[in-house]
Each structure stands twice: as structure tokens, then as C-alpha cells.
Structure 1
Amino acid sequence: MRILQYSKWDWVPVVLGTVHFLAVIGLFLVFPHLSWWSFICLALIYSLSISWNINSISHNFIHNPFFASRTLNVVFSFMLSITLGFSQAMYNFVHMRHHSGNMDRPDEAGKTIDYLSIYKHGHDGKPENVWSYTFLSYFRDDPAEILRAMAVRRPGEARQAKFELAVMIGFYLVLALLDWRFILCMLPFNYLGQCLSSLNGYYEHFGGDPEKPLAWGVSTYEKVYNWTWMNNGYHAEHHYRPKVHWTKMAELHRTIAAEQEEAGTRVIRPPHPLGFLDADLAQH
């Protein structure tokens, strides 16, 4: 019986996603025995792992669910929700809006299709400052608004999102009852992980062109980043063809490279989380 839907390479994110979930439990178990320095080092790794998972495993799971079985996909979605601290089904909906709007600029009413648009809180048609986008995006999410929109457009996914939220909250309440200090200490590091994901998202689009499909995203071909983040660097290519599997992104790039150059698709040298180090940053 076929287990994976698209590629045998999807065992990589499946295994890594499972290990990430187990690592969160492991961190809880070792927490009482850690020195403060050891805890801080592991918690910082945890923060980075949140952004890594969101932008690699969780992201690819949205576009090409890994399993042939719907039941296994639902189970994996619940596991991601617990690991990351938010509903994967809600992230799916928000991310699909992201692809519908492609970092669109606000309309006359100040609204954007894309909930995540870097232009939403900017001024004069320019992107928002990177640091306010990075550190405030977490507080701008309105779960009630998202669930209402989901209930209208995708009622089945809205129900799943509510269950995921309930299970995720229940899981961490149990951990809090067992050791409330762990939850209290981990909250700022989870927030930092969400901020790192926002920082990543900012430079995936800063300098892109919302009016040109080939230039909707900003790409980086830094090899270590793409090996470890499952080709997330091919972001312009991904926005142009969102359903292309993560293992096929380099091939897609080769086929459209000439068109991208003509469209002025932006490419940066550093990986997206370090986009502020790009030498051409001032020109944008």
C-alpha cells in the first residue's frame, strides 16, 4: 500500500517533523535537570527550529500533503499544531490567502487579500519596516477573524482548526499542570521562533514586485540554506508555481531563469533569515 502521496523524499520532512515533536517532549522531560545556561542554549535552538519547521516542513505540507491517506495527513497536521503552537489548518488557510494576494498592497479601504503582506502596515505603497513586521506580526493575528473566514469558505477545515487548537491548548495545559515553570520559561522562546519566521517571510518578499508573477517572491540560492530548509530559497519560483514539489525547485528555476531575469526577479546572496545582510539592500 502506498504511504506517501508524491515522493519518497517526503520521508525526510516526515521524519524530521516527528523528531521535532519528540524533541519538544524531550526538552520538557530534561528541563528540571538543566542549568540555566543549558536551558537557554536549548531554548534558542528551539526558537530557530520553530521558524525552520514553519518554512520547510509545515510549508511544504500545505502545498503537497505528504501522505496518500487523509487520516495520516490529519494526524500529521495535529502533530505540527502541537509542535509549533498554532493550528496547522489555520496556517493552511492564511497561507493560501498569502498566495492569493502575493504580498498585495492595501486597497482604498486599507485592506489586503494577503494577511501576511509586508505592505499591509506600510505607508505610501512601501513595505513596513522589517523590525516592526518581525516583532509585531505575532500580535496582529486574529484567530477569531480567521476562523470566521474559514467557516464561510472551508467549513470542514474550520472544524479541524478548532479541534487542533483544542488539542494543542490541552496538551500544553497538561504540561503546565506537571511543571508550570517549563511553560512560563518556553513562552518567550516560542514567541521568538514566530518572530524569526516573520523575519524569514519579510525577506522572502522585500524587493519583490507584487505586479509581476515571476517576481512575486525573492529567491536565494545559498546551498546550505536550501539543503536544510528544503529548497525554501527558491521562493520566487515557488510563488510562480506553488504546487511544484520541493525537490523539483532547482529544475523549475533552470527552465524559467531567462524569463525571471527579464522580469527583474530579485535574488539575494544570504539566506532569507539573514536578508538584512544583502549587499543590495539599500537599493530597495
Structure 2
Amino acid sequence: MPTAATTGEIASSGVSRATRREPWLVKHPAEWRQVGIIFVYLGLLAAMFVEERCRNVFFLGAACYFSFLNAVVIHNHLHQGIFQSRRLNMIWRCVLSFGALYPASANIPSHNLVHHHFDDDGQPDWAAPDHVGFRWHLLNLLHFPNVAGPNTFDGVKRWGALHGRGEFRRQYQLESAFAFGVTGALLLVDVWTTLFFIVIPQLWGARGILRINLIQHDRCDTSSEWNHSRNFVGRGFNWIMCNNGYHTIHHNRAGLHWSTLHEAHEREVVPRIDRSLDEPSMVLYLLRTFLFGLKRPTERDVAVSEHVAPLAELASRDVRRAEAEAASA
């Protein structure tokens, strides 16, 4: 017969097992934030479509903002699927594709493969900042999607046509049919409402996520291990952006879940990166660089910051961390 102490141990071990259970439906509890973002976005679009009182600049502005976040969720979802079910992940890609009016699976070749490797394979990044060259930098920001978009989809088409890409082509076509089919049906119901309050937000997010390539990599050294990306490290900004401001660590360790990027950035990037590439605010950076700056910043060699730890110390620190992680596994 179990004693009170034994009963307590059983109860505590049961609680421990319960706390270790995988979250329902999603792979990680933080993913509910991304699911919530998409439902807010779709709710804004639905409200503007069905309710005339919601067709105003405030709802439209909010929808455009959440459309950009929809594109951020596409980025995260195509790196690590949100849901435990593969089928549900594929269906979710269709929903996200409608929100951005482009097939979400295009991110696999364009971002995961080509962009993350820059030009390591001899092929230039389809959305590299150097594709635009106006002296007035604001024009580069405005025009960049007009160049990067066609480059990207031409590259995706070539990649998808390769032998062995049949599954990718089927999913890509399904997402295209869903995104353009639903949008086309809405156009048939109410053409002007759909154009102004559905299509404009869709295109805003799709074009905005392309501009991020220019913002995060322009005048950075893509041949450097640590100085290839610009980071935006505001905590409030990264909460709503699902940590997409921490771009250096995402490039270097793309397998990390987005919810862990802040800690990894502080631990691995801050001691090594040029200090000027950690921007406290994206808004201030955009104002300073594109609005108040009349010409594109000159390219410069990113200097090693004075606060960078000696390489031997960093290597030793990495060894100790790896040993600690192995011991706790």
C-alpha cells in the first residue's frame, strides 16, 4: 500500500509528465501567437468586405499592417511548420497564400535555399539589394519589389521545373488556385470593395516582405560570417514580429525556432557582430536612411567592434556550452 510520500511522488511525477506534454495541435506553444495574427488579419478583411462601416482608412491601414505580418508568418511557417499534422501545414499554406496573393511555397527555393546561401552556389540572390541602384535611396526602397518580385518568381519557376520537383509543383499550383480563386470569387461578388479592401492589403504585405531584403542586407558584408545582416532589436517590435528582427542568428542557425532567437542573438551574435548593425528601432532606421537621407549610404567595410571577445575565448565558451547541453540532454 503506497505511503503518503509515495502518493505525493506519484502525483508530482504525473504533474511533471503533464507539463512535459506536447501542446495541442501546434508544435510549440508560441505558435498560437502566429495563428492569432492570421485570424486577426482575415477578420479585418472579412469585416471590410461585409460591413460598409468598416471600409475606412483605419481598417485598411490595420489590414495592410497585418498583411505584412501574414508574410512574416509565411516565412516562419516555411522554415518550420506550425502544426503537428503535415496535412494541416499544407492547408495552412493555402490560407497564408490567400493573405499574400502569392503561393507560400515559393519561399522554399527563393528564401530557404537561394537567399540563405546568398551567392555561395554561384547563383546570385534573386532579391539582393544590388538589383536597384538609384542614388536617391528612397526610390530604391519603393522600386525594389518591382525588380525582386519578377526575379524571384522567374527563379522559382526554373527551380520548380527541375526533375523531381513534382510534389512542390502540385502544392504550388494548389496554393495559387486557392489564393487567386478565392480573390477572383470575391471580385465577382463586389469588384470595387475587393480591389480596395482585399487586394491592396494582399499586395502590401507581399511587396513589404520583399523590401525587407533591402532593409536587412543593404550595405552589409554578405561574405562575412557575422556582418551579413542588419538586426532590429527592439523587444516590443520583435514580439509582434515573432522575432524576425534578429536576422543574423536566423541566417546562421536557420533551424532555431523563432521564439528562441532573442536569447541566441544575445549569446552568439552580440559578441561578434559590428555594433552598428544592431539597430534599436526599425522606424528610426527607415526615417534616417530613406526619408532624411537623400542618397544611398556608401558601401563600407564593416569593422570589427572593440567589444568583440577574443576568438580563443569565444571558442572555449562554445565548447563549454556544447558540453553543458550534452550533459543536460
What is the TM-score of this pair, normalised by structure 2? 0.71
Aligned partner of 2:190 among 155, 179, 188: 179
In the other structure, the counterpart of 1:150 is 160
In structure 2, what is the Cα distance between the partners aligned to 1:180 and 1:138?
Answer: 28
Aligned partner of 1:119 among 113, 126, 130: 130
In structure 1, what is the Cα distance between the partners aligned to 2:40 and 2:139?
Answer: 35
Contact 1:138/1:194 (CA < 8 Å) preserved in 2? no
Q: Report the AA paired with residue 193 of structure 1.
A: G
In structure 1, what is the Cα distance between the partners aligned to 2:214 and 2:116?
Answer: 17
Contact 1:52/1:229 (CA < 8 Å) preserved in 2? yes
In the other structure, the counterpart of 1:205 is 217
Contact 2:232/2:246 (CA < 8 Å) preserved in 1? yes
Aligned partner of 2:87 among 49, 61, 71: 71
In structure 1, what is the Cα distance between the partners aligned to 2:148 and 2:277?
Answer: 27
In structure 1, what is the Cα distance between the partners aligned to 2:149 and 2:270?
Answer: 40
After superposition, the C-alpha distances for 1:260-279 in whole angstroms (9 at most, x for unaligned) are: 23x67722232279534269
**Partner of 1:115: helix, strand, or coil?**
coil
In the other structure, the counterpart of 1:161 is 172
Q: Decide whether aligned partners of structure 1 residues 25 and 79 sit closer, same or farther in structure 2, where only a CA change above 3 A counts.
A: same
Query: What residue ranges of structure 1 are gaps of 5+ in the alignment?
Result: none
In structure 2, what is the Cα distance between the partners aligned to 1:63 and 1:265?
Answer: 28
After superposition, the C-alpha distances for 1:2-52 in whole angstroms (9 at most, x for unaligned) are: 64564211121123223322332232112xx238xx523322222222222
The yes-or-no answer on 1:8 pairing with 2:20 is no
Query: What residue ranges of structure 2 are gaps of 5+ in the alignment?
Result: 1-21, 300-329
The structure having more radius of gyration, on CA atoms, is: 2
In structure 2, what is the Cα distance between the partners aligned to 1:6 and 1:207?
Answer: 36
Deviates more, 1:210-219 or 1:271-280: 271-280
In structure 1, what is the Cα distance between the partners aligned to 2:276 and 2:167?
Answer: 37
**Partner of 1:67: helix, strand, or coil?**
coil
Q: Decide whether aligned partners of structure 1 residues 213 and 3 sit closer, same or farther in structure 2, where only a CA change above 3 A counts.
A: farther
Q: Give the CA deviation at 1:211.
A: 0.3
Contact 2:226/2:269 (CA < 8 Å) preserved in 1? no
Structure 1 runs (4+) greater than 6 angstroms displaced? none
What is the TM-score of this pair, normalised by structure 1? 0.81
Q: Decide whether aligned partners of structure 1 residues 199 and 139 sit closer, same or farther in structure 2, where only a CA change above 3 A counts.
A: closer
Contact 1:99/1:239 (CA < 8 Å) preserved in 2? no
Contact 1:48/1:193 (CA < 8 Å) preserved in 2? yes
Aligned partner of 1:85 among 98, 101, 126: 101
In structure 2, what is the Cα distance between the partners aligned to 1:277 and 1:188?
Answer: 27
Q: Report the AA paired with residue 62 of structure 2.
A: I
Question: Sequence identity, in percent?
Answer: 19
After superposition, the C-alpha distances for 1:136-175 in whole angstroms (9 at most, x for unaligned) are: 2465256465234123163211210111101111111111
Q: Map 1:179-258; keep pairs closer than 5 Å.
A: 179-186=190-197, 187-257=199-269
After superposition, the C-alpha distances for 1:196-237 in whole angstroms (9 at most, x for unaligned) are: 333333211123211012222111111221111011111111
